[in-house]
Chain A
């Protein structure tokens, strides 16, 4: 399958203009110009140390670029406030195994944003939580402590947390590391479904070139330094009619 070019029908969600980044003396990125439109699926590929994680961290506001400009949803990142529209799964969470939180508490924490300060959780929080737990097939371990889970199970918990707000944009840094092959297939099915039918835009770093090329085509849209960007736009408009994601459960294998 080859990549379908981006249609000019949407506003850009992410715009990078001449973005540079360096850690003290080490240059990681130079003059990166790139834009992501609504309904794009962007696969980011590159060798270790290429700067992929650095790029994602800048995009979610964790580090300011040392040069250039980043705009999110049409706004400069410095003014941007709609953080609940973005779900982020960082690369390998450095988890404190003794932390006494349950899976339920961790997934729910995805709902705690700048908009929810001083407020109690809204009434549909419970429904959102159940939906997220079911999609990632972690209902059975919902009351377990996070430190008692396997690496793959923990990864599912962080994915569930990123999805609980039903974000417009999901930013995933190597989300399938530590997940078994069968579950990975299911996971790719799920994000493809979310991309094509649920109007979710993706930005995903992965070393799983085969699966990425399978969906995004073999030709990168762009290359900057050692980082390659593969893009596929979904203009299928095949809205499956479901507002929550539970119907796609069969797509992701169970925990056991």
Chain B
């Protein structure tokens, strides 16, 4: 039990709470625009950046973040070229990320264990610098979503209508993708690259069945994510489970309960 009061656990909880806020906040725009897969892609690209960071001895999470942001531009470009088949652009970038990552792995054999901690998450090693990074990203994401709530709603609901209303559609698209890159690359230290997209999409998947309005679905998905993070970290801490996996399994449990409760019908 005393683990719950240790410094590293408190830092993990704080980091988890911040990610529990930003992940579904960005996730809802990705899911509704049928870009759910972007989470996985950006996570894989981030790992390539992390691997490079270890290789050249620069703060790996930041290198990963830069990689993710750059590839988010590429995804946006490809997405426009293959309008309507966004998953194609995502698949291309994803395999690119994996290829670069594994190439860099073989170059620097010695640090494999460190990289593994990014693949599966290592929330207990969250340092002060990591927290500042996550905190900064949270502020940016919150500000953008609050400031551009109207515009992001219309863009997500119907991109053409947003364009006819004179909204800067390209810029807003870019904004969402870049924010996704920021959130994902900071979240991988917490739940791991392999599980990060679960935190973006599963809370949203639940709220799509439960919410009566768009506003409510945003609130609900954040609440669901935060419950999973808090309960998951405490449970994992007490019984010594893998924290990232525990959080994701809780999310899946909540989704199953939602589906059973709604029997597949939306409200």
Q: Chain A interface (Cβ within 8 Å of chain B)?
A: 60-62, 81, 83-84, 86, 88, 90, 93, 96, 98-102, 104-106, 109-110, 112-118, 121, 143, 145, 147-148, 161
Interface residue? B160 (CB, 8 A): yes
Indicate if B5 sits at the interface (CB-CB under 8 A): no
List the A side residues contacting B266 at CB < 8 Å. Answer: 98, 100, 145, 147-148
Expressed in whole angstroms, the Cα–Cα distance for A112 and B158 within the complex equals 12
B111 at the binding interface (Cβ < 8 Å): no
The contact of A112 among B153, B160, B211, B213, by CB within 8 Å, is: B153
A100 near B213 (CB under 8 angstroms)? yes
Name A117's contact: one of B167, B212, B216 (CB within 8 Å).
B167
The interface bits of chain B over 217-236 (1 if a CB of A lies within 8 angstroms of the residue's CB, else 0) are 10000000000000000000
Chain B contact surface mostly: helix
- Among A90, A98, A104, A113, the residue within 8 A (CB) of B160 is A90
Distance between Cα atoms of A116 and B214 in the complex (Å): 20
| 0/1 string, B163-177, CB within 8 A of A gives 1 | 111111000000000
Q: What residues of B have a CB within 8 angstroms of the CB of A101 in the complex?
A: 153, 157, 213-214
Q: Which residues of A contact B165 (CB under 8 A)?
A: 83-84, 110, 112-114
For A100, what are the chain B residues with a Cβ–Cβ distance below 8 Å?
207-208, 211-214, 216-217, 266
A-B interface contact total, Cβ < 8 Å: 84
Question: Does A106 lie within 8 Å of B157, measured CB to CB?
Answer: yes
- Report whether B212 and A102 are in contact in the complex, using a CB–CB cutoff of 8 Å: yes
User: In the complex, what distance in Å separates the CA atom of A84 from the CA atom of B34?
Assistant: 28
Q: How many Å lie between the Cα of A147 and that of B168 in the bound state?
A: 27
Indicate if the CB atoms of B150 and A109 lie closer than 8 Å: yes
B161 within 8 A of A: yes
* Cβ contact within 8 Å between B163 and A62: yes
Which residue of B has the minimal Cβ distance to A105?
Answer: B214
Bits for B190-204, please: 1 = Cβ < 8 Å to A, else 0. Answer: 000000000000000
B166: A residues at CB distance < 8 A? 81, 83-84, 113-115
Nearest 7 pairs between A and B by C-beta? Answer: A114-B166, A83-B166, A100-B217, A113-B165, A112-B150, A101-B214, A102-B213
B91 within 8 A of A: no
